[in-house]
Amino acid sequence: MRTVIYPGSFDPLTNGHLDVVHRAARLFDKVIVAVAQNETKQPLFSLQERVALVKESIAHLSNVEADTFDGLLVNYVEKRGGQAVVRGLRAVSDFEFEFQLALMNRKLNERIETIFMMPKETYTFLSSRMVKEIARLGGDISSFVPAHVQKALHERLNRKEVK
């Protein structure tokens, strides 16, 4: 049984994330999308909201599940019996940080491999941060996120404006 962990903030999940999930699901027996607590990043959605949005997006994929984690990623990977971590690489700008993270994780646990996957070209410019910004400014995000994520974003941002 080959299990891969896909960790991230997923604040919120985008079609770029989903593209990586689909690719990983074809290579591994099981994919666990692990939503990080990440309090330092002050997420727009709570941990429970983020994981619920992921769950709805992966419901049709039988070998993919969603979970939350906090603390060291390598400890979580051990706990879930994973062999590898998958991360998405969009552009050279992602590389430096991802390279550092992968080598640090290897230092912490040599057994765990990090695998990088490139999304479809149309998603290489997509990030959760950009999607939030465009939604906040009233732009069309329908091709960037699943419909339920779009709805959640609109509800959250409209409520914020009312305050």
Where do contacts with ligand ADP occur on this chain (CB under 6 A)? 8-10, 14, 16-17, 19-20, 87-88, 90, 94, 119, 123, 126-128
In the complex, least distance from residue 138 CB atom to ligand ADP, rounded to whole angstroms: 22
CB atoms under 10 Å from CB of 67, counted, come to: 15
Active site residue 90: yes
- The Cα–Cα gap between 64 and 58 comes to 7
- Which candidate in 9, 23, 87, 128 is catalytic? 128
- Which candidate in 22, 55, 80, 90 is catalytic? 90
Active site residue 163: no
Q: How far is CA 85 from CA 37, 152, 154, in A?
A: 17, 28, 32
Active site residue 55: no
DSSP β-bridge partners for residue 30: 3
Contact yes or no for 13/50 (Cβ under 8 A) = yes
In the complex, least distance from residue 120 CB atom to ligand ADP, rounded to whole angstroms: 8
Between 14 and 105, name the residue whose CB sits nearer to ligand ADP. Answer: 14
Active site residue 111: no
In the complex, least distance from residue 137 CB atom to ligand ADP, rounded to whole angstroms: 19
- The Cα–Cα gap between 163 and 85 comes to 40
In the complex, least distance from residue 9 CB atom to ligand ADP, rounded to whole angstroms: 4
- Which candidate in 17, 23, 50, 87 is catalytic? 17
Catalytic residues, by residue number, are: 17, 41, 90, 128
